[in-house]
């Protein structure tokens, strides 16, 4: 835990190495000292059909899903760190969003 999901415009692949974004996000999550690197699951999903502000423009959205137990301050600090890093690396993208949500442990199951 956590699950880190990167959603992005397919066109971004022409301008930036998506694997670098995955690795950068993973490094930011490790640097937060909130999680063990062995438990972090990071993946990227491209979208070819979408609208941003009514038109097809570059975007990246990060969803970080956690089990309960982190404070609001810890989650805000993590989100701001990820936003700062991505804003620096992807300065040519105007639409970068981060969302951190708590998973309900009563309804989250896994095979480990």
Within a domain: 108? no
Q: Where are the alpha helices (DSSP H) in 1-112?
A: 18-31, 72-89
Give me the tens of pLDDT residue by residue for the chain, a chain 112 residues long: 899 999 999 999 999 999 999 999 999 999 999 998 999 999 999 999 999 889 888 999 999 999 888 999 999 999 999 999 999 999 999 899 999 999 988 888 888 7
pTM, to two decimals: 0.91
Within a domain: 110? no
Within a domain: 69? yes
**Cα torsion 19, 28, 92, 51: sign:** positive
Within a domain: 109? no
Within a domain: 13? yes
Tell me which residue range forms the domain holding 34. 3-103
């Amino acid at each position: 835990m956590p699950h880190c999901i990167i959603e992005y415009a397919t066109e971004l692949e022409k301008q930036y190495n998506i694997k670098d974004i995955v690795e950068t996000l993973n490094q930011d999550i490790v640097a937060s000292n909130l999680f063990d690197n062995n438990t972090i699951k990071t993946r990227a999903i491209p979208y070819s059909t979408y609208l941003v502000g009514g038109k097809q423009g570059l975007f990246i959205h990060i969803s970080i899903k956690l089990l309960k137990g982190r404070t609001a301050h810890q989650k805000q600090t993590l989100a701001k760190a990820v936003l700062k890093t991505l804003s620096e690396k992807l300065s040519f993208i105007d639409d970068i969003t981060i969302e951190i949500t708590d998973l309900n442990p009563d309804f989250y199951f896994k095979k480990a």
